[in-house]
DNA sequence: GTCCTTGCAAATAGTTTGCAAGCCG
DNA sequence: CGGCTTGCAAACTATTTGCAAGGAC
């Protein structure tokens, strides 16, 4: 029985496992601090440093994504499939935008030229606006 | 004679003026620290706090842009016209991508739907890759 | 004169790191 | 056992803020 960690040549560690499991259950794009609080419920001795170290390792191994929504705090996402994010400028929460940007559009963005001067490896789009709940409040 | 600051209901201040002037001369997307060093040459007593306060004010008044390229430092850009940015993952510099993303594509991104559930006010695209210089080195 | 802005220094927020002890394979 | 991982606390980086003095209008 090969674990998801072994597949990435990572040792098993209870702390890392709990972090990964928590991230897989949520779509709220938690910050390191929030992850720490949650995992602490099951592993009271865990330290914030450990959380940061594991998040870094999981990101490096492409098991999770790190989002920089521009408010100074990194957020994490275990959903590594192609999707985009909306930062609600009212409540500060980050939402998944289910609908993909059409392949044709992505293609268009990539080849949008840049005169072949640079080598574009990828891009990230961050959307800003109001989430459904906040929209309804006004 | 109405200054660019008065137009925005901002007082004149020599420090703010120097920051703005420096930003207008460069396209290197400097960090606050770098701006501080540069302006210090002309205004040796200026403090870093003043630089941060003015940058914030200029951003709030939409006279400059604040970029979050994901490396933990904010960068600033006096070019507020529509353009995108490339972060070179090799040298860490930020470049302007002159060519716009075609209006049709932008339109497509906006109306890409999101089911009208959220209200999208805008989006930012950050490109990652290698700049021309770094590409040539390999 | 009033309100805005400054320099300075201290404070804060998020994140990283050195170390000795503990766990995985 | 050897190397990876941990908890803890201290360190670090980028940025913000309180305050008394100085400048704009």
How would DSSP label each residue in B28-88? S--BHHHHHHHHHTT-TT--HHHHHHHHHHHHHTTSSEEEE-SSS-EEEES--SS-EEEEE
B11 strand D contact, CB < 7 Å = yes
Neighbour count for residue A48 (Cβ, 10 Å): 13
Confirm or reject contact between A22 and chain B (CB < 8 A): no
Residues 6+ positions from B96 with CB-CB distance below 8 Å? B27, B79, B83, B84, B85, B86
B121, pLDDT greater than 90: no
pLDDT digits (tens, 9 = 90+) for A96-129: 887 676 676 667 666 654 556 788 888 888 888 8
| Res A35: pLDDT | 98
A60 beta carbon < 7 A from strand C?
no
pLDDT, residue B114, reads: 54
8 Å CB contact of A124 and B126: yes
Q: Is the pLDDT of residue B116 over 90?
A: no
Chain A nearest-CA residue for B117: A132
Does the CA dihedral A30-A31-A33-A36 come out positive or negative? Answer: positive
Q: Would the Cβ of B52 be found within 7 angstroms of any atom in strand D?
A: yes
Tell me the C-alpha distance between B88 and A114, whole Å: 14
B103 at the A interface (CB within 8 A)? Answer: no
Nucleotides on strand C lying under 7 Å from protein C-beta? 4-10, 13-18, 23-25
3-state helix, strand, coil in chain A (%, to 5): 40, 20, 40
Residues of A in contact with B108 (CB under 8 A): 101-102, 105
A127 vs B120: CB contact, 8 Å cut-off?
A: yes
Among chain A residues, the shortest Cα distance to B85 is held by: A123
CA separation for the pair B96, A110 (Å, rounded): 15
The mean pLDDT value of chain B amounts to 89
Local confidence band at B52 (pLDDT 50, 70, 90 cut-offs):
very high
- Mean pLDDT of all residues in B105-116: 61
What is the predicted pLDDT for the residue at A3? 85
Residues 29-58 of B with CB under 8 A from A: none
Is the pLDDT at B12 greater than 60, yes or no? Answer: yes
- More confident of the two residues B90 and B105: B90
Interval B69-89: pLDDT, tens: 989 999 999 999 988 899 998
Using the structure, give the distance in angstroms from the CA atom of A48 to the C1' atom of C20, rounded to a whole number: 18
- % of chain B exceeding 90 in pLDDT: 56
- In chain A, which residues have pLDDT < 70? 99, 101-102, 104-106, 108-116
| Local confidence band at B57 (pLDDT 50, 70, 90 cut-offs) | very high
Residue B119 β-bridge partners: A130
Query: Residue B17: what are its φ and ψ, rounded to 5°?
Result: -60, -45
Helix (H) or strand (E) holding B93: none
> For B89, which residue in chain A has the nearest alpha carbon?
A121
């Amino acid at each position: 029985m090969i674990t998801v960690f072994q597949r990435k040549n990572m040792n098993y560690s209870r702390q890392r496992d709990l972090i990964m499991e928590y991230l897989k259950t949520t779509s709220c794009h938690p910050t390191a601090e929030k992850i720490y609080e949650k995992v602490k419920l099951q592993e009271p001795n865990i330290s914030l440093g450990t959380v940061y170290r594991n998040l870094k390792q999981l990101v490096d191994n492409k098991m999770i994504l790190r989002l920089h929504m521009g408010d100074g705090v990194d957020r994490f996402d275990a959903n590594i499939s192609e999707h985009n994010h909306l930062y609600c400028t009212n409540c500060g929460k980050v939402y998944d935008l289910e609908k993909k940007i059409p392949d044709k559009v992505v293609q268009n963005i990539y080849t949008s030229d840049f005169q072949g001067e640079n080598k574009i490896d990828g891009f990230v789009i961050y959307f800003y606006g109001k989430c459904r709940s906040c929209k309804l409040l006004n």
